[in-house]
Homo-oligomer: A and B are copies of this chain.
């Protein structure tokens, strides 16, 4: 660890931070713009750039591109390499098998560990939106400090805005917060799976629960220590991965990967580990989970319409339109999502946009419809 003199004359640690971006998601909720061959993280729905590029750009003040690793399946990796042509091949880590996030993050962490065991790994999904980027970076810097100094696994909890049933929750002890770096960290008391509405209401009322953002920080050496203690069933896979990475043998890597249980990192490790810390992720986070979430991101006209593309609206209210390159005329319609993309058109009640995935499921059932997936 190097040190440098900060502005106030105080010695500041210059941490070796490595970002691991989970770029392999396969969401269907943005159909028909999002397709099997073009998942959400490659869509330009939140800004001018695909969400994956925004994720890389957003962390640049803390993590230069050369310290970013993108983890994904082979198909998403091909798309990611096209988007980031300047990154070397080594920046792209292809999952040998689809086995959920735990094996993928073990592999990414093992690579970092071989390079610098004290480096801090920041795990970031490629398809989330963060509105307050300055605040996010402050929290991320503090998280790096907490992971490095406290030797803890660290996560960010999103202050819940409503009793969501679509997210996992993190229970934390609000009384025992401690300031580390620029943020307050709380001891985690438990990870909870997606609740039903009654539970979600309780969670919200108690004030002790935050949404699980799926962002994590750990020192590589701490990660393996925790794995050994709290999830020893993963150690044969870890050892195999390290050996395969050292030798560069891809067959052995695949075999080691296959040894790891196919679990999420939350389930495999986070919820078992003692001393996990959580900071408030009050930086305008959204997982952009469905079309209607874009109402919060795109500018809206006086009638609440949010549009991409040329739109002529007569007495239309609260409509979300994605139809670049064409004219959309709306007459007297309300609360609908309109998405025109290639060979398919979606018209959906705003309140039912979670059902878009049911459309994709229905399309899978007929051979003639498969081309639309």
Interface set of A (CB-CB < 8 Å, partner B)? 31-32, 310, 312, 314-315, 319, 323, 325-333, 336, 338, 340, 343-349, 351-353, 355-356, 358-359, 362-363, 369, 372
Contact = CB atoms under 8 A, between A and B. Distances in A.
Contacts of A362: 312, 314
A80 to B, nearest CB: 28
14 contacts: A312-B363, A314-B358, A314-B359, A323-B345, A326-B343, A327-B344, A327-B369, A329-B346, A329-B348, A330-B348, A331-B356, A332-B348, A333-B348, A338-B345
A360 to B, nearest CB: 9
Contacts of A31: 329
A310 B310 CA distance: 25
A333 B343 CA distance: 20
Contacts of A356: 329, 331
A345 B336 contact: no
Given A314-B358, A355-B314, A369-B312, A346 B331 contact: yes
Nearest to A372: B327
Given A32-B329, A329-B32, A336-B333, A315 B345 contact: no
A332 B345 contact: no
A3 to B, nearest CB: 57
A347 B327 contact: no
Given A326-B344, A333-B347, A347-B347, 4 more contacts: A310-B369, A327-B372, A332-B349, A332-B355
A116 to B, nearest CB: 49
B327 A352 contact: no
Contacts of A372: 327
Given A312-B369, A352-B315, A369-B312, A345 B329 contact: yes
A310 B368 CA distance: 10
